[in-house]
Amino acid sequence: MRCKHCYHAEEGFDNTMMKPDYAKKMFAIAAKDYSEIFVVFHGGEPTLWGIENFTDVLEYQEKIESEKNVIFKNSIQTNGLLIDDKWIELFKKYNFSVGISFDGPHNDDLRSNTEIVYKNMCCLKEKGIKFGTLCVENGLSIEHFENTYNWFKNEGFNFKVLAMFMSGNALEHKELELDVIKYVDCLCKMYQKWLFDKECNISMQTFEDLLKVSDRLYCIQYGGSCIHNGICINPNGDIYPCGRPYTSDFILGNISSLENFSQAFNTAAYKNLERISIERQKQCRKSCKFFGVCKGGCVSSAILEGSFEKINNTTCVRAKRLLSKITEINTEIYKFYDSGADLSKLNPHAVKIIKKSREGKFNFMHQANL
């Protein structure tokens, strides 16, 4: 598709395909130490790998499961362009969690082949495949966010919002850059409407996560902690901390010489990443009252923004402004709930989250310092 915001484009578009044996070795190594293994197929565009390669490695997963006490849980993040009946059957057979990258009514801003992808999404829905949608908001679309929300609701597509990230190919399209104030204001305006949208028939994960930020709750983003429970393999076999972009300084080895994950986690590159993450968290803990919510944020985002050891990059500034407004809104909503008011006025999805919050059913790691 050559998406306008593709971060992989920073080093040029790459059509290298992973050898299936690389994936198989990764699965075998994971099965040595873990009984439940979550696998995410992403890219680039993972469906370009082909049905045959997917079937090959998924059958290998089944072989491992038959020999060991191991369960693989697979998911895929795709642009949806190549999805057809064969892909749908594969998703069903192997119980895939499916994510589609699609921006609703403004999909043409960043991507192409909108009508084809939309048709494929409708086909997924008709065939009973549940999927979530990642919707990227940019500088041209954010003022029309209410239209975007209504479009997803009318289509019955669950979705989550991602803010446009200025890296890679996006740097060639400055007109798409998000204004922090405008983004936060538009998002919060729609969030308040969502809270009272009694006809909401979809999951809007961004708003659902934000509603969990209250006086009694914990972090909704574990920040640098994700580097401790995931690992990524690139098509050429290089191992990285995660699927988000990192420079070559953070290569943790290559699958050709890897025998167990502890090798990767004991490299100098990984130790340096841990040091960076710890230093960011120390600074954030001292200076930000929202540290308990984001735990220092994403290390990869900080690296892309050129300041991984320092705080107050664009992502950080945007998050603090957003959380400041959200906590004000949520304080009133939780007071409304605690007062015993008529909950029929609220979005039923919101009511469920508030109830779970007050009943202590969310299992977060650290209490937010709000």
Q: What is the DSSP string of 242-254?
A: SSS---GGG---B
Residue 245 tokens, joined? 């972009």
pLDDT value at 153 more than 60 = yes
pLDDT value at 222 more than 50 = no
Candidates 83, 69, 185; CA nearest to 131 is: 83
Percent of the chain whose pLDDT exceeds 70: 85
Residue 286 pLDDT grade (very low, low, confident, very high; cuts 50, 70, 90): confident
Residue 325 tokens, joined? 């407004």
324: β partners: none
Rounded CA-CA distance 206/145 in Å is 13
- Is omega for the bond preceding 44 within 30 degrees of 0, making it cis? yes
Domain positions in the chain = 7-178
> 311-363, pLDDT tens digit by residue?
667 778 888 899 999 999 999 999 999 999 899 999 999 999 999 988 877 75
114/21: higher pLDDT = 21
Say if strands 71-78 and 97-101 run parallel, antiparallel, or are unpaired: parallel
Q: How confident is the model at residue 357, as a pLDDT?
A: 87
3-state class percentages of the chain: helix first, strand second, coil last, to nearest 5:
55, 10, 35
Residue 1 tokens, joined? 């598709």
Percent of the chain whose pLDDT exceeds 90: 59
| 195-200, long-range: CB < 8 A, 24+ apart | 195/329, 195/333, 195/346, 195/347, 195/350, 196/345, 196/346, 196/347, 197/153, 197/347, 198/344, 198/345, 198/346, 198/347, 198/348, 199/153, 200/153, 200/347, 200/348, 200/349
Q: Do 51 and 20 touch, CB atoms closer than 8 A?
A: no
> 161-198, pLDDT tens digit by residue?
988 765 666 556 677 888 989 999 999 999 999 999 99
> 114-143, pLDDT tens digit by residue?
999 999 999 999 999 999 999 999 888 999
Q: How confident is the model at residue 367, as a pLDDT?
A: 38
2/234: higher pLDDT = 234
Q: Do 169 and 3 touch, CB atoms closer than 8 A?
A: yes
Sign of CA dihedral 117, 3, 167, 171: negative
Give the single-character DSSP code of 151.
Answer: H
HSE-up of residue 152 (Cα within 13 Å, Cβ side): 27
Average pLDDT, the chain: 86
pLDDT value at 236 more than 70 = yes
Rounded CA-CA distance 283/290 in Å is 12
Task: Spell out the residues 6+ positions from residue 276 whose beta carbon is closer than 8 angstroms to its own.
Answer: 299, 308, 309
Q: Do 178 and 184 touch, CB atoms closer than 8 A?
A: no
Q: Which CATH architecture has domain 7-178?
A: Alpha-Beta Barrel (3.20)
